[in-house]
Structure 1
Amino acid sequence: QRGEATWYKAGLGACGFVSKDTDMIGALNAPDFDPATPNGNPNKNSLCKRQIKVYNDKNQSINIQVADKCPECKKGDIDLSSAAFQKLFSLDKGRMPIKWEWV
């Protein structure tokens, strides 16, 4: 998929566990996340803890774990922890194009 990466302050995510800014995690956009949420309980979403390989525009990649949902993100977008974002981009960029795939 293609979309944009942003970064956020980690914490208690929709998947029901606490993450730190140093963790290689991300919040998946709602259009991709929500269909896998059973009975409206995001803690039981089957995409939680799944691995995603995220590529920047230089084809460098990182693996992240789905820890949260990004309600305001468009389909294809992923909100990354600051540590994950920094592996691909400078934090001052804020929003950058990515491509990604499930591992």
Structure 2
Amino acid sequence: MNEHGRHAMETMKNHDPESFAQIADPETHFSTLGREIQEAIVALSAELIPMRGQEEPMEFIGMVNMAKLRAREMVYQEMIYASLPAEPEEMEPTYGAQEHEES
């Protein structure tokens, strides 16, 4: 299992344990998902990497690295995070109620 599969497995295990428990063979499922994620990142990276221009070599390397990071972020969002249940929103304190009680 590659790093993407491990990340997906740990994320689901921690944020959607009910769905995780329903996967008959997590090792195979997340190994396959990890390969699919890797392929999607490579494909999207190729689209996001800018054409080589007049920039310095190190600047271009930085641009390539940023494109790869953006691709990873976008693919993770689509293939891992989008299927997770929404996190409960934290309740904001009700300042008005406290001020009223102090009066």
TM-score, length-scaled by structure 1: 0.25
- Say which one has the larger Rg: 2
Greater relative contact order, per chain length (Cα 8 Å cut-off, separation 6+): 1
Larger helix percent: 2
